[in-house]
Each structure stands twice: as structure tokens, then as C-alpha cells.
Chains A and B, each alone.
Chain A
Amino acid sequence: QKEVEQDPGPLSVPEGAIVSLNCTYSNSAFQYFMWYRQYSRKGPELLMYTYSSGNKEDGRFTAQVDKSSKYISLFIRDSQPSDSATYLCAMSAENAGGTSYGKLTFGQGTILTVHP
């Protein structure tokens, strides 16, 4: 079993739809959770960064973390064709001096297409 499982998609939605992207994880040491957007032939771009359980909103994006269920989500409201990309969840544990210090573990990515 992988440490991080991401709904693989692909997803195809009409413009204006609400998109829900999800990841589950098994490592209870994960404390920091990130969502990245990656356009074709580009590096990952950080969208959202959260710590601990709860919601965080930034414009059309909302990140949700439920540590008790080991489940994170990214919601995109009023989706636009420019949101078409691969979305990656990532998480990290910060045990100083441990082998996991600072490194990110990624989900498999979800390809999203928003059509006009």
C-alpha cells in the first residue's frame, strides 16, 4: 500500500463546475499538507499549504484536512479552462533528525480538464 493515495481521475468537467480532488494517507506522522498544480512541461506550482486539520481558503480554492480520517481535499469553485492541469497532493512529516525530515511524499496526481 502506498503512503499516499490520490483519486487518479482523469476528471473532465464543464466550466463553472465545482471540482473536488482527494487524497488519503496512511502515515499518521504527516503534519503538513500541500496541493500543487502542474501544467504540461512545467514544474509543480504550490497552490495551498496547510497544517493540521481544518479548512483553508484562497480565492476559488479551498483545502480541507481531516487528520482523524487521514483524508485531504482540494475544492475548486467556478472552475475555468485555465485550471486544466495535473493536481498533486503532497505531505510531509517534520521529525528533526529522522529520515523523513523535510521530504515530501506525493500522490499519483489527478489530471483535470475543464471544458468551455
Chain B
Amino acid sequence: SAVISQKPSRDICQRGTSLTIQCQVDSQVTMMFWYRQQPGQSLTLIATANQGSEATYESGFVIDKFPISRPNLTFSTLTVSNMSPEDSSIYLCSVRRGPGTEAFFGQGTRLTVV
């Protein structure tokens, strides 16, 4: 398994501001992902965080709104920019050690935008 630490665990933010979420893994992993879980909904992939290069975004998600960094194999950040109430969700970091391996999740960041 993998121990994943996500910070902050929750936050309440004003619209128009930005929040950066951190994801730290206890060991090196090949793959890191960011998911969003809107209230009462399932998980939707935002992007794959690529080490040393630009993230790969899913349809409907853009870099200007959700910039992602991954400076090494154990750490990534997701920024939610220019927030609106529609961005109120749980944001989850996920890791896989490699292809065909299990995927593990952090505890999530519960974001409320007012």
C-alpha cells in the first residue's frame, strides 16, 4: 500500500481566490492523479500529474483553472484557481506504483467556496 498525506483536509474559501492542495506520498510512485468528487457524486479524473512535465488534463478540465505541479516522484500540488461556488467539492490525490497495480487514495480535501 501507500501512505498518502493531503493538506489541507478542508477549507472554506472566498470566491475569486485560489487554493493549493498538497499531496505527499511516503515512497516513490510512478503515477499520481487528481480526482474531484462533487457532493453526492462519484469520482471524476481531473488530470494525471506527470513528473517533470506538464500534467495531462481530462476533457472539461484546463490548466489555467487547475494548474498542477509534480516536482518529484513523491509530491504533487493541485491549485484551484479563481474559485466559484461550483468548485465546492472533495479533491482527492491518488497514486499507483506502476501499470497494473492498485490505486490508493488520500483522505481528500473538502473545499467549500462561499
Contacts and interface: CB of A to CB of B under 8 A. Distances in A.
B91 to A, nearest CB: 10
A94 interface: yes
B45 A104 contact: yes
A41 B112 CA distance: 13
B99 A102 contact: yes
Contacts, number: 60
Contacts of B96: 102
A45 B102 CA distance: 11
Contacts of A36: 105
Interface string A48-83: 010100000000000000000000000000000000
Interface in A76-116: 88, 90, 92, 94, 96, 99, 101-109
A102 B43 contact: no
A9 to B, nearest CB: 12
A13 B43 CA distance: 25
A96 B20 CA distance: 30
Interface string B47-72: 01000000010100000000000000
A101 B105 contact: no
Contacts of B102: 34, 46, 49
28 contacts: A32-B100, A34-B102, A41-B110, A43-B107, A43-B108, A44-B43, A44-B105, A45-B105, A46-B1, A46-B102, A46-B104, A46-B105, A51-B100, A88-B42, A90-B43, A90-B103, A102-B31, A102-B33, A102-B99, A103-B33, A103-B48, A103-B58, A104-B45, A104-B94, A104-B103, A106-B44, A108-B42, A109-B42
